[in-house]
C-alpha cells in the first residue's frame, strides 16, 4: 500500500542545465584529448560531491532534527526556512518539505517526469535517481524497488511516495537509530547517508 503525492511539473525548468552540461562535456573532451585532465580524476571528484560532500548538508539537517525538538517542529511547519537558517538554500528558489519516517510510515522521494532534486541539501543527484526505471518503478512498485536497494520493509509499514517538482523538493528525515541518544549531533550526522535522505535506505548504528 502506498500513497502517491503528485504535483504538476514544469518540464522546461532544468533545460538551462542541459546547455551547461553540454559545454562542460565538450570542455572535458578537449582537455582530455590534450592530456590536461584524467577522466578518472573527474569521475572521482563527481563521486565525492555526489556521496560525501554534498549530502553532509542534509545530514546536518537530519541530526539537528533528531537532537533539537524545536528545530524538528520548525522543519515540519516550514522546512524551507528551517533549512535556510543553517545556511542551505536552493539555487532556483524552490521550496523544501521535510517528510519524517515513523515506525508506521516510510517515505520515498522520486521525480517522475524529470530529475528535480534538493541540490542545496544533497548535492549532485545520483545517476539512478534520474533513470527512467527508478522514476517509474518507485511509483508503481516502491516496495520492490526498495528491496533492490537492499531495504526490506515489513508488509505492515506503509510506503508514501513523494513526487518532486521544480517548485517543491523533498528531504526524508529518517528514523533515528535505537540506542543512539547519547551521540553528539556531529556523530549522528556521520551516520546519515544520502540514500537515507531520499528514502532508499535507513540509518543504522555502525557495527
Q: Which of 114, 136, 193, 206 is catalytic?
A: 114
Q: How remote is the C-alpha of 14 from its chain's centroid?
A: 17
Q: Per-residue pLDDT for 32 more than 70?
A: yes
Question: Residue 83: pLDDT above 70?
Answer: yes
Cβ contact 196:126 at 8 Å: no
pLDDT bucket at 30, cuts 50 / 70 / 90: confident
What span, in angstroms and rounded, lies between the C-alpha atoms of 175 and 103? 8
Q: 18, 85, 115, 180: which one is catalytic?
A: 115
Known active-site residue 114: yes
* 85 annotated among ligand-binding-site residues: no
CA separation for the pair 141, 163 (Å, rounded): 14
Cα separation, 65 vs 185, in Å, equals: 9
CATH 3.90.330.10 domain extents, the chain: 55-198
193 is in an annotated binding site: no
Question: Is 115 annotated as catalytic?
Answer: yes
pLDDT at 207: 52
CATH number at 55-198 = 3.90.330.10
Q: Which of 85, 116, 193, 206 is catalytic?
A: 116
Q: Is 115 annotated as a binding residue?
A: yes
Residues 45-82 pLDDT 10s? 666 666 667 799 999 999 999 999 999 999 999 999 99
The answer to the question of whether 114 is labelled as a binding residue is yes
pLDDT in tens, 145-199: 999 999 999 999 999 999 999 899 999 999 999 999 989 999 999 999 999 999 9
pLDDT at 21: 62
Q: How many CB atoms lie within 10 A of CB 69?
A: 9
Amino acid at each position: 500500500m502506498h500513497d502517491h503525492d503528485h504535483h504538476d511539473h514544469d518540464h522546461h525548468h532544468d533545460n538551462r542545465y542541459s546547455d551547461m552540461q553540454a559545454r562542460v562535456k565538450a570542455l572535458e573532451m578537449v582537455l582530455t584529448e590534450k592530456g590536461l585532465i584524467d577522466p578518472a580524476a573527474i569521475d572521482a571528484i563527481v563521486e565525492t560531491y555526489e556521496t560525501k560532500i554534498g549530502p553532509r548538508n542534509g545530514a546536518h539537517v537530519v541530526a539537528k532534527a533528531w537532537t533539537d525538538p524545536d528545530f524538528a517542529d520548525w522543519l515540519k511547519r516550514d522546512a524551507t526556512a528551517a533549512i535556510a537558517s543553517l545556511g542551505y538554500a536552493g539555487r532556483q528558489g524552490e521550496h523544501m518539505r521535510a517528510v519524517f519516517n515513523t515506525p508506521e510510515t516510510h517515505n520515498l522521494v522520486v521525480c517522475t517526469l524529470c530529475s528535480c532534486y534538493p541540490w542545496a541539501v544533497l548535492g549532485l543527484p545520483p545517476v539512478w535517481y534520474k533513470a527512467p526505471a527508478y522514476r517509474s518503478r518507485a511509483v508503481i512498485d516502491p516496495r520492490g524497488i526498495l528491496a533492490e536497494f537492499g531495504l526490506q520493509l515489513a508488509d505492515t509499514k506503509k510506503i508514501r511516495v513523494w513526487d518532486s517538482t521544480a517548485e517543491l523538493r523533498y528531504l526524508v528525515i529518517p528514523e533515528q537509530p535505537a540506542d543512539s541518544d547519547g551521540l553528539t549531533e556531529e556523530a549522528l550526522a556521520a551516520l546519515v547517508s544520502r540514500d537515507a535522505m531520499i528514502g532508499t535506505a535507513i540509518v543504522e548504528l555502525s557495527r
